[in-house]
Amino acid sequence: MAEGMPGRAAMVPLNEHPLRRMLAGEVHARPYEVLGAPVRMSHLAVIHREGGDSEAERTHLAQLLGQHGAEPPGEGTNYFSRDLGALRLRFERHAEFSTYTFFRFDDFDHPFFGTALELVPQAWLHHLPGDVVTAVHLAVERTERPADAIAPLFDGNPMVGSEMAGGAAQIWTDFRLHADGFGRILVRDVTLTGGQTGRLAQRLLEIETYRLMALLAFPLARQSNGEVARIERDIAGIIAELADPAVCQNDRALLDRLTGMAAEAERLDATTAFRLSAARAYHAIVQQRIAELREERITGLQTVSEFMDRRLAPAMKTCETATDRQRMLAGRISRTSGLLRTRVDIALEEKNGDLLKSMNRRAKLQLRLQETVEGLSVVAISYYLLGLVSYAAKGLKAVGAPVSPDLAAIVGLPIILGAVTLALRRLRRALGQGHREE
């Protein structure tokens, strides 16, 4: 080892987290390309179909790479870049879409004729697994074109453009689909380095990709706002009925209607929640990428930032409004349900009170009936006992005892009545005490 040269760092034995290496490499997972003008790019963003298999995507990529003798992607590969002769392919797989970017490095006169995609087999493109949501051609050149020569490249459409990267580049686009179904972006390399060119191209393509991914939520948000407005009108009708004492309502019917509205609101939230939250995340990426462009105005043209503020931001506000309205709708349904439940509880308490009063009246009537029956029981028992005394007196008289049956009946009557009454009261008291102990 030469003197002064540092040796290899000694390995320190550590108990590493199993995800440490993967997490440390994540920030380097999708590096930008180092590019130099002239270069033409064709960029496709393809949404995965429901139940789409990454293995099918990998197999499809392997077909193209195999035709050029390039190494196929490994299992679970989410990013790679391969040179395919006159082409270079950059592939990235994201959560719900994948991007394919083809680079062509030969000279050109017209930036959007003889594109990179023309060198890709058309049959292979036709069978891409998924649905294309973004398709754009981007060209980087050093040629300085006059303004009247740039407009025809975009079919005379109103253009958006600006200087970027501190004046190191100029870009023009119209954010429209042309006859071939692709958007167009032209970049003039003024003093860009290879790394700057790669980063600028990547940001511009990501702006176009994430712009359209964010806008996927816009039709859904408008539909959601219409359904929310209808449910809100129905809830307002229920509240008006609850607030009007002159209207006779069927609480069960109102509760059924509210339950149906709650189910609709939950279905709506389940249908739109992912798309609306994804739109918010994609829009944030678009805003971040625009800020990284460091735009400066080209006289007479809207900047990319201004264009997005006027065209994309209102659509995103609609999506945010849809999210907010769904959240407020759920709260309104909950409050209305609580109001209805309170009214039902009050009505139930009133019915319970009436039921208790009715039970009290019945208990009093039962007590009176019991007392009446008890009095009759005293008379009946006393009658039979008095009859027994009378028969006993007659029997004693018959055997010669000096006993008068009539006198015995008169004397025994109050004694028998008192004894029977006292016995029945003690019996009732004993039964009542036993019930309380249970």
Q: Is the pLDDT of residue 136 over 70?
A: yes
Q: What is the mean pLDDT of residues 379-384?
A: 74
Question: Residues of the chain with pLDDT > 70: what percent?
Answer: 86
Q: What is the pTM of this model?
A: 0.76
- Give the type of residue at 127: H
Residue with tokens 């496709």: 44
Question: Per-residue pLDDT tens for 143-160?
Answer: 888 888 999 999 999 999
Q: Is the pLDDT of residue 100 over 50?
A: yes
Strands 131-141 and 79-84, sheet pairing: unpaired
Which stretch of 41-50, 71-80, 84-93, 271-280 has the lowest confidence by average pLDDT? 71-80
Is the separation of the CB atoms in 98 and 45 below 8 Å? yes
Radius of gyration of the chain measured on its C-alpha atoms: 46
Q: What is the mean pLDDT of residues 248-270?
A: 80
Joined tokens for residue 375: 């009095």
Q: What is the mean pLDDT of residues 407-411?
A: 72
Q: Is the pLDDT of residue 366 over 90?
A: no
Which stretch of 93-107, 201-215, 276-290, 402-416 has the lowest confidence by average pLDDT? 402-416
Q: What is the mean pLDDT of residues 240-254?
A: 69
Q: Is the pLDDT of residue 1 over 50?
A: no
Joined tokens for residue 244: 């009007």
- Residue that wins the pLDDT comparison between 255 and 35: 35
Joined tokens for residue 156: 């005379």
For residue 101, which of 42, 55, 157, 60 has the smallest C-alpha distance?
42
Q: Is the pLDDT of residue 137 over 80?
A: yes
- Say how far apart CA 124 and CA 60 lie, in whole Å: 8
Q: Is the pLDDT of residue 142 over 90?
A: yes
**Which residue stretches of 86-143 are H helix?**
122-126
For residue 134, which of 50, 211, 40, 48 has the smallest C-alpha distance?
211
Q: What is the mean pLDDT of residues 355-370?
A: 77
* pLDDT given for residue 316 in this prediction: 94
DSSP3 helix / strand / coil % (the chain, rounded to 5)? 60, 15, 25
* pLDDT given for residue 374 in this prediction: 65
- Say how far apart CA 152 and CA 173 lie, in whole Å: 12
Average pLDDT, the chain: 84
- Say how far apart CA 320 and CA 275 lie, in whole Å: 11
Q: What is the mean pLDDT of residues 198-222?
A: 95
* pLDDT given for residue 187 in this prediction: 96
Q: Is the pLDDT of residue 191 over 70?
A: yes
Task: List Cβ neighbours of 155 (8 Å cut-off, separation of 6 or more).
Answer: 174, 178, 179
DSSP three-state, residue 274? helix
Q: What is the mean pLDDT of residues 71-93?
A: 89
Question: Per-residue pLDDT tens for 335-358?
Answer: 887 777 777 676 677 777 777 888
Which stretch of 22-26, 65-69, 168-172, 418-422 has the lowest confidence by average pLDDT? 22-26
Is the separation of the CB atoms in 382 and 417 below 8 Å? yes
